[in-house]
Amino acid sequence: MARSAAGTDRDDECAPASGSRELTPHSDQCLGCGPANPAGLAMRVFRKDDAVHSDVVFTARHVGAPGLAHGGVVATACDDLFGFLLYVVGEPAVTGSLQVDYHSPAVLGTTYSIWARLERRDGRRLHMHATGTDPSGRLCFEASAVFIVVPLAHFHRYGSPEAISHVFANPSTIPAADTDEPELVKGQPLP
């Protein structure tokens, strides 16, 4: 694994699946894909058709039990990959729920191939699924998430939405949510 100028591990030798194209990181400091985050995963993510994928190697800074990746860092990898499905959808959204099922431990230093896709859309709810396999092709973990489509203005409260607008530059083949739906408020049911 090569070290980037920012000092993070990046698998610059990662060969994308045939027909895949690399996607731009969410931001330089993103915990999952940011090349300038020294504590991050520095994931390189690729799009193939309507799926996204990344090869991830958990390192000593991601340790949970000795020799194994922390379950939270596995969840982080899945959650960040789900965020790349927004390139496919073409709309801003946030994680509403995330569930990870661990079928076997994630061993440090092992390359895990993670693939994610949108299963369906119900109004503002985007239902996503991901699988993580080891080099032998064995399923080691899988995740399901529901992302909630929000207006880009949602991000004005927390930072610059312009910093992530590149994610939504490509129009989607998936029907857009109604634009007059209210923003998600914790504790309120979705329309």
- pLDDT (tens place) for every residue of the chain, 191 residues total: 333 333 444 444 455 667 789 999 988 889 999 999 998 999 999 999 999 999 999 999 999 999 999 999 999 999 999 999 998 998 999 999 999 999 999 999 999 999 999 999 999 999 999 999 999 999 999 999 999 999 887 777 777 666 666 666 544 433 333 334 444 444 545 54
DSSP state of 26: S
Question: Residues 6 or more apart from 75 whose CB is under 8 A from it?
Answer: 98, 100, 143
Token pair recorded at residue 152: 């880009």
Query: Are 128 and 78 within 8 A, CB to CB?
Result: no
**Domain positions in the chain:** 2-168
What per-residue confidence (pLDDT) applies to 47? 95
What per-residue confidence (pLDDT) applies to 95? 97
Query: What letters, b where the CB count within 10 A reaches 16 and e where it falls short, cover 59-72?
Result: eeebebeeebbeee
User: Is the Cα dihedral 148, 149, 155, 160 positive or negative?
Assistant: positive
Q: How far apart are CA 27 and CA 166, in angstroms?
A: 10
HSE-up of residue 34 (Cα within 13 Å, Cβ side): 14
Q: How far apart are CA 186 and CA 150, in angstroms?
A: 13
Question: Residues 6 or more apart from 91 whose CB is under 8 A from it?
Answer: 149, 168, 172, 176, 177
Place of tokens 């899988």: 142
CATH architecture of the domain formed by 2-168: Roll (3.10)
> Is 84 in a helix, a strand, or coil?
helix
Token pair recorded at residue 160: 């610059």
Q: How far apart are CA 166 and CA 136, in angstroms?
A: 35
